[in-house]
Amino acid sequence: MTDSEKAVAAAPNVTDSDLYVSGIPHGRLAEIRRTPGLAWHPYGDDGFWAVCRHSDVKTVSKNSDTFSSAIGHTNLWDLEADALEARRSLIDTDAPDHTRLRRLIAASFTPKNIKRWEQTVRDITVELLDEFAATGSGDWVDMVAAPLPIKVILNMLGVPLEDADYLVELSNYLVEGTGEQQSIPPDAFGNTTELRLLPFNSPASHALFEYGAKLAEQRRRDPRDDLVTALVQAEDAGDRLGPSEFRNLFHLLVFAGNETTRTALSHGAMALANFSDQWNRVLTNPDLVPSATEEILRWATPVMHMRRTARTATELAGTAIEAGQKVVMWYSSANFDETVFADPHQFDAGRSDNRHFAFGGGGPHFCLGAFLARLEVTVLLEEMIKRRMVLRQDGEPVRAPSNFVHGVLSVQMSTVEVSPQ
Ligand code: HEM
C-alpha cells in the first residue's frame, strides 16, 4: 500500500459476490459516496479506487486519455498479457484503435438503423407476452426476460432460426461464466484453447467464435440484410474488421445484447409489480412510457461497474491516483446518488431529468446498444399497456451471486389482470 492509500479510509467491501444474493449493497455504497475524496478498496493482493459519486463517475468516463480501458482490463481482476490480447474487443481498447473499430460498426446501431428492427422486436415480444399471459404464471426470466433479447439479437445478426437454440445455450453458458461455477468441462464443444485465453474462461466462447466465423464466411459469399453482413462489409476509408476483431465483436454483441437487457426486463417487471401505483400511472397515461423506460434502466443498473486504469499520475476528488492504479466506476452507486436523484430508492415512472449511468457515464465507450436496449424495454411496456397487463411478484427473486451483472436468475410472477388481444 502506498502513502496516498494509507491516508484514506478503506472502503467497506462491495466486491464480495455473496453480498449480491440479497441485492445491491446500497448502504455500503452510500457510505463510500459520503467519504471525502476517494476510498481505497482492497481487492486480491492489491486494490482499486472506488469511484461512487455521480460526478466522479462522469469525470472518469469522459477522460479516456487519463483513464484507460486498454491497460489491464475493464473488469476488476488482471489478466496475463497474452490473455488480454486474445480477449481484447472494442470495450478494452483506447483511441486510436477504439475510434477506428467503433466507427466501423457504429452505423448499424444509430437510432435510424435500430428503428428498422422495431417490428422484429414487437413480434418477438408479443409472442412471449401472450404465452406468459396464457400460462398465467411462471418464471418471468425464463419465459420473457431471457428469451426476448437473445431472440432479438440473433435475428438482427442473421443467425438462422434452426441454430437459435444452440446460440441461446452458448450464451447461457457465458452468463454462467460471469459467476464462479461452470457446469461444462474445459473441452466442451471441442475446445482445445486454454480457458484463460477465452472470454469468461468459458469453452462456450470457443464455440461462439467458431460459429461467428462460419456465419461471416457465408455472408461474405451470400450477403443478406443483417448485422453480420453489415459487419463483414463494414468499411471506413478502406479499413475493415480483421478476423480476430470480427470474432471478438460477434462474441461481444451476442453477450452484451443479451445478459444486460435480460436484467433490465427482469428488474423492470418486478418494479412494475411492486410499485403498482407507478404502473397504474403509466397504464392511464402511456405518454409516460419514455420516462418509465429510463427509470427501469436506472432501477435495474444491469452492469454495476466498469474499471479503468490510470495511464498517468492524476487526481480525482482531491485524491492522488498513481499511474497504473485501478479506478472502478460503480454505476450501482451513481444511479442512486441522492445529490442527483430525488428520493433515489423510489421507483418513479415519471422521473424527469433522469441522468442515469446504466449505459455508462458518457465518453467514448458509452453503450453502443443503448438505442436497441431502450427499444426492447419500450416495446415491452407498450405491449403490456395494450393488454392492460398487471403483474404480481410471487416470492423473492433468485439473484446472481455477481458483483458485475445485477442478474436475476429467476423470479416467479403472475398476471393479475390481462385483456385478451
Ligand atoms: C439494458 C441493456 C444494456 C446495458 C445496461 C448496457 C450497459 C453497457 C455499459 C455500462 C457499457 C460500458 C460503458 C462504458 O464503459 O463507458 C456498455 C458498452 C457496450 N455495450 Fe451495452 N448495455 C446494454 C445493452 C447492449 C446491447 C443490446 C448491445 C448490443 C447489441 C450492447 C453493446 C455494447 C457494446 C458493443 C459496448 C462497448 C462499447 C465501446 O466500448 O465502445 N449493449 N454497455
Dist. CA 369 → ligand 1 center (Å): 5
Q: Using one digit for the tens of pLDDT, what is the confidence trace for 235-250?
A: 766 778 888 888 888 9
Cβ 61 under 6 angstroms from ligand 1:
yes
Mutate to test the pocket of ligand 1, among 90, 359, 379, 402 (most ligand atoms within 8 A of CB): 359
Kindly list the domain boundaries of the chain, sorted by start residue.
3-417
Dist. CA 261 → ligand 1 center (Å): 10
Q: Give the nearest ligand 1 atom to 357 CA.
A: 10
* CA distances in angstroms from 264 to 28, 175, 212, 270, 359, listed in the order given: 23, 15, 26, 10, 11
Cβ 265 under 6 angstroms from ligand 1:
no
Mutate to test the pocket of ligand 1, among 101, 148, 267, 367 (most ligand atoms within 8 A of CB): 367
Q: Using one digit for the tens of pLDDT, what is the confidence trace for 359-378?
A: 999 999 999 999 999 999 99
pLDDT of residue 372: 97
Q: Find cell 449505459 and name the residue.
A: 359
pLDDT of residue 46: 92
Q: Give the nearest ligand 1 atom to 258 CA.
A: 27
pLDDT of residue 6: 47
The CATH topology of domain 3-417 is: Cytochrome p450 (1.10.630)
Dist. CA 202 → ligand 1 center (Å): 20
Q: Is residue 61 within 8 Å of residue 329, measured between CB atoms? A: yes
Three-state SS for the chain is CCHHHHCCCECCCCCCHHHHHHCCCHHHHHHHHHCCCCEEEEECCEEEEEECCHHHHHHHHHCCCCEECCCCCCCCCCCCHHHHHHHCCHHHCCCCHHHHHHHHHHHHHCHHHHHCCHHHHHHHHHHHHHHHHHHCEEEHHHHHHCHHHHHHHHHHHCCCHHHHHHHHHHHHHHHHHCCCCCCCCCCHHHCCCCHHHCHHHCHHHHHHHHHHHHHHHHHHHCCCCCHHHHHHHCCECCECCCHHHHHHHHHHHHHHCCHHHHHHHHHHHHHHHHCHHHHHHHHHCHHHHHHHHHHHHHHHCCECEEEEEECCCEEECCEEECCCCEEEEEHHHHCCCCCCCCCCCCCCCCCCCCCCCCCCCCCCCCCCCHHHHHHHHHHHHHHHHHCCCEEEECCCCEECCCCCECCEEECEEEEEECCCC
Residue ranges in the chain whose pLDDT is less than 50: 3, 6
pLDDT of residue 77: 85
Dist. CA 168 → ligand 1 center (Å): 19
Cβ 253 under 6 angstroms from ligand 1:
yes
**Nearest alpha carbon, ligand 1 atom 37:** 91
Q: Is residue 305 within 8 Å of residue 329, measured between CB atoms? A: yes
**Nearest alpha carbon, ligand 1 atom 20:** 367
pLDDT of residue 237: 65
Closest CA to 356 of 381, 330, 334: 334
Q: Give the nearest ligand 1 atom to 263 CA.
A: 1
pLDDT of residue 186: 93
Cβ 153 under 6 angstroms from ligand 1:
yes
**Nearest alpha carbon, ligand 1 atom 43:** 367
Distance of CA 334 to the CA centre of its chain: 16
Cα–Cα distance, 363 to 66 (Å, whole number): 12
Cβ 362 under 6 angstroms from ligand 1:
no
